[in-house]
């Protein structure tokens, strides 16, 4: 007999959630998805207002993608790169590099964001070695930041909590401060602080020894680690200049921000004077229809590595036909539906609606992001920008109150709230104006309910 979910539950233990602490609430069982909506097995409907963890970019149940997957599976689902090239891989590589534009003419496909980070690190290293610069191996990044959960990706992620647990197992890379804009040190404006943060990158390169520094990784528009942080424009140019001056490769982690999410195919396109040397993608690339990630790099980088013996790196599922066919269909749908432009337009509308919510809210401190990669920062008081004590579990409560109201908002308290706490508001790129208004309305309702639970601070 095929075991049902109910029969698993009767055993008393969570099924996929075996790692949750004892007593943690069970989650509803998902039943189906269509467009921006998901339904659980009781029939309750939710708006997927963060596209899961910012993955379901084109919404659920897209028939074109389902059909493309079906057709590819009928032809061949898997054939190893060791024996064959495959057409789906070539089509996806052509499409993604065309959309990414000049300077990113080559693509290598993997199964997700962490694999893309690992692959980008190794590509950078092999390129340096091919150029006779084998002394370069240090990978700098920002604090806070997130580049994935494998040990290599963790070593270049700025997260004090995961460092405390796993730091001794991987050589932690030097970090420079992320240019936060909401809280800046006394005497600074967001612009002057961003300038200072870029200077900190140069100081770190000089201190470490420029001939030892391989790459600088950053999320051009932040993910969960910074709550959709967007730096002042001058920061991007300055970072590019510093990397170029010292022969350091600039890697943009666009696992979250890429594939149209920020209102341009790459977030990088919004800062044309800060072109990255390497870009990583995942999440929106296959939009939740299959695990897929990519590393994009210039022809020069990839050719140099190829000529020096080839890329010493790979995964069993790298560039597999099924995932590539799905990714290609997702890109076709992204272009056909003009979803990149829609992300820009709906992002602007979402910001306006959230600003209206903020006017009536005691706890909505900051609204930031680009396109449909937005976040709202939650504070105990807006004047002092103070963070709720951990016991309030503010983010957890707001997520629960939103979920009661049929709204899914992705978040968790990152870095123990050291840098603040926020929720991601990042619905699928197919979201229309009425749906944006509904999302903002439900966020307003959830925040109002939360405010009733927490006493207002005295003057």
| Residues within the interface to ligand PLP (CB under 6 A) | 53, 112-114, 117, 146-148, 219, 223, 253, 255-256, 282
Indicate the residue among 121 and 282 with the shorter CB distance to ligand PLP: 282
Measured from the CB atom, is 14 or 53 closer to ligand PLP?
A: 53
Q: Which is nearer to ligand PLP, 53 or 190 (CB)?
A: 53
- Report in angstroms how near the CB of residue 327 gets to ligand PLP at its nearest: 14
By beta-carbon proximity to ligand PLP, the closer residue of 50 and 342 is 50
Closer of 223 and 365 to ligand PLP (Cβ) = 223
* HEC letters along the chain: CCCCHHHHHHCCCCCCCCCCCCCCCCCCCEEEEEECEEEECCCCEEEECCHHHHCCCCCECCHHHHHHHHHHHHHCCCCCCCCCCCHHHHHHHHHHHHHHCCCCCEEEEECCHHHHHHHHHHHHHHHHHHCCCCCCCEEEEEECCCCCCCHHHHHCCCCHHHHHHHHHHCCCCCEEECCCCCCCCCCCCHHHHHHHHHHHHHHHHHHHCHHHEEEEEECCECCCCCCCCECCHHHHHHHHHHHHHCCCEEEEECCCCCCCCCCCCCHHHHCHHHCCCEEEECHHHCCCCCCCEEEEECHHHHHHHHHCCCCCCCCCCCCCHHHHHHHHHHHHHHHHCCHHHHHHHHHHHHHHHHHHHHHCCCCEEEEEEECCEEEEEECCECCCCECCCHHHCHHHHHHHHHHHCCEECECCCHHHHCCCCEEEECCCCCCCHHHHHHHHHHHHHHHHHHHHHCCCCCC
Nearest residue to ligand PLP by CB is: 113
Please say which residue, 103 or 112, places its beta carbon nearer to ligand PLP.
Answer: 112
Between residues 284 and 444, which has the closer beta carbon with respect to ligand PLP?
Answer: 284
| Least distance (Å) between residue 288 CB and ligand PLP | 11
In the bound state with ligand PLP, the residue whose beta carbon lies nearer, of 35 and 113, is 113
For residue 225, the minimal CB distance to ligand PLP (Å) is 7
CB of 375 to ligand PLP, least distance (A): 12
The minimum distance between CB 290 and ligand PLP, in angstroms, equals: 12
Cis peptide before 144 (omega within 30 of 0): yes
Work out how close the CB of 234 gets to ligand PLP at its nearest, in angstroms, rounded to a whole number: 22
Nearer to ligand PLP, 281 or 363 (CB): 281
Whole-number minimum distance, CB 84 to ligand PLP, in Å? 26
The nearest distance, CB 333 to ligand PLP, in angstroms, is 20
C-beta of 284: minimal distance to ligand PLP in Å? 11
- As given in the structure block, the two tokens for residue 218 are 């950053």
CA atoms of 324 and 343, how far apart (whole Å): 24
């Amino acid at each position: 007999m095929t075991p049902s979910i109910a029969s698993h539950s009767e055993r008393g233990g969570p099924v996929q959630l075996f790692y949750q602490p004892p007593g943690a609430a069970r989650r509803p069982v998902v039943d189906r998805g269509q467009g921006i909506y998901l339904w659980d097995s009781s029939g309750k409907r939710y708006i997927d207002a963060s596209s899961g963890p910012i993955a379901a970019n084109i919404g659920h149940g897209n028939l074109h993608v389902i059909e493309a997957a079906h057709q590819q599976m009928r032809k061949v689902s898997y054939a190893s790169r060791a024996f064959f090239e495959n057409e789906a891989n070539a089509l996806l590589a052509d499409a993604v590099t065309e959309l990414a534009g000049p300077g990113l003419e080559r693509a290598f496909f993997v199964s997700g964001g962490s694999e893309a980070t690992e692959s980008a690190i190794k590509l950078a290293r092999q390129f340096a070695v091919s150029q006779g610069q084998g002394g370069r191996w240090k990978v700098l990044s920002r604090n806070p930041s997130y580049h994935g959960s494998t040990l290599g990706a963790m070593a270049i992620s700025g997260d004090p909590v995961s460092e405390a647990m796993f730091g001794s197992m991987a050589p932690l890379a030097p970090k420079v401060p992320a240019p936060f804009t909401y809280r800046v040190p006394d005497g600074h404006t967001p612009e002057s602080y961003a300038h200072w943060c870029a200077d900190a990158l140069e100081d770190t390169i000089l201190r470490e020894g420029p001939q030892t520094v391989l790459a600088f990784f950053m999320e051009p528009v932040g993910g969960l680690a910074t709550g959709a942080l967007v730096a002042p424009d001058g920061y991007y140019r300055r970072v590019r200049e510093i990397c170029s001056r010292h022969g350091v490769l600039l890697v943009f982690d666009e696992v979250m921000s890429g594939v149209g999410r920020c209102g341009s195919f790459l977030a990088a396109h919004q800062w044309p004077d800060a072109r990255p040397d390497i870009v990583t993608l995942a999440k929106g690339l296959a939009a939740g229809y299959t695990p897929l990630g990519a590393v994009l790099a210039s022809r020069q980088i990839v050719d140099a590595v190829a000529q020096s013996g080839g890329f010493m790196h790979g995964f069993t599922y790298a560039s597999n036909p099924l995932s590539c066919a799905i990714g290609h269909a997702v890109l076709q749908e992204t272009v056909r539906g003009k979803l990149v432009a829609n992300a820009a337009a709906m992002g602007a509308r979402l910001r306006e609606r959230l600003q209206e919510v903020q006017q009536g809210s005691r706890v909505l401190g900051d609204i930031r992001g680009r396109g449909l990669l937005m976040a709202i920062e939650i504070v105990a008081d807006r004047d002092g920008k103070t963070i709720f004590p951990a016991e309030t579990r503010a983010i957890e409560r707001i997520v629960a109150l939103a979920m009661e109201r049929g709204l899914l908002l992705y978040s968790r308290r990152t870095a123990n709230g050291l840098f603040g706490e926020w929720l991601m508001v990042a619905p699928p790129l197919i979201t229309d104006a009425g749906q944006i208004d509904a999302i903002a309305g439900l966020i307003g309702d959830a925040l109002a309910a939360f405010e009733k639970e927490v006493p207002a601070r005295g003057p």
